[in-house]
Amino acid sequence: QKFTSIKNDYCLTFSHLSEITQTEDDTNISKNVFHFTKLSEVSNIGAGKIIDLIGVVTSVGDVNSISLKDGRQKDKIDYEIADNSIDGGMRVTVSIWGTKATSKKFSVGQIIAIKDLKISTFKGVSLNGGDNSFLCDATQLKLKESSELQSWYRTAKDHVNDINSLTEGNQASGTPSLRNVRLIKEIEENSNDDLATDPTVRYYINARVELVRNDSKMVYMACPSCKKKMTEEDTSASTYRCEKCGMSTSNPVPTYIITVKFTDGTGSIWTRIYGDNALPIMGNTKPEEVHKMFANDSEESNVEIRNFLNSLNFKEFSVMVKPSINSYNGQESLNYHGSNVKTYKPEKATISFSKD
């Protein structure tokens, strides 16, 4: 159940030897079975988990076309949905992506049920649904939850803005709680699907450095104004020019752009990290010092670089990882960028021993 939204204790697996025969539907198996989660419980479940929700629509946004990293466009509509899981109620932003964003539109005051929403904890708690989600008018299901919500909303609708918001009241502080941390194996398996429903998805990992790639371009000269990469225009005068803002200077800012391989025991992931985010991983060594090592092209300097990079291995960090899909020569690749890098200090565990 760790890597699936199916809540059953057992599952059937088919192989190429399986024989499947179509039969008449006797209607004894329900097409859509809901297992509703109350909004008061969502924060304790964790990012990436799948839930079902029933609630009342308190606001409806416009349908917007979102540009994805791979160049595709995907429709999105935001609903704000509330329930009565705590005194005074609780609400959350629910984003519906893809064809489901336009196939059916609900209105304020309507009680709706949604199956298969994914929890996101980036910039507060929110829920995301896509083409695999099922949305319906909950009053048609004749559930007791629908009647309770209708009764509650009749008195709550006049003070909707006073209802506690999971999305607005839980903005990310930069320090992830344990429930937001993902295994690298989970990230590798879910990144493509997560990006399809939420292009802004972020993950947190607690992992150790397996390797910092030895690259002479791991430090570049950045523009003091716009931070973009500068090109050397006069080697004799050591002046650099920024193509974006047109600035020329002899005092560019040495800036890190490192590629790090992280591992956590379930898998490994290559991550690109920029600027000051790289400092903790580089042992707080300033980028200009590393630049000088590479500038001195000698065997002694090469040994110094290798020894320095090897000394960075096996240190543990908490990192926020953002996946993206890039296209090159018609081929798509999944890339990861890291930020919010902090030294990982696992909480101490107390172990009791019994004596015979």
Specify the pLDDT at position 6: 62
Q: How far is CA 327 from the centre of its chain?
A: 20
For 111-141, b where at least 16 C-beta lie within 10 A, e where not — what string?
A: bbbbbbbbbbbbebbbbbbbeebebeebeee
- How many CA atoms does the CB half-sphere of 341 hold within 13 Å? 26
pLDDT of 262 > 80? The answer is yes
Q: How far is CA 181 from the centre of its chain?
A: 10
Q: What is the DSSP letter of 135?
A: E
pLDDT of 228 > 90? The answer is no
Quote the tokens at residue 217.
């371009």
Contact between 35 and 292 (Cβ < 8 Å)? no
pLDDT in tens, 118-158: 998 876 789 999 888 999 999 988 888 999 999 999 888 88
| Mean pLDDT taken over the chain | 85
Report residue 348's pLDDT band, with 50, 70 and 90 as the boundaries.
very low
pLDDT of 171 > 70? The answer is no
pLDDT of 352 > 60? The answer is no
pLDDT in tens, 37-82: 999 898 888 788 899 999 999 999 999 998 876 778 889 999 999 9
Distance CA 337, CA 202 (A): 10
pLDDT in tens, 98-113: 999 998 889 999 999 9
Mean pLDDT, residues 221-232 taken together: 88
Specify the pLDDT at position 346: 67
Instruction: Name the percent of the chain lying above pLDDT 70.
Output: 89
Report pTM. Answer: 0.57
Quote the tokens at residue 215.
């690259």
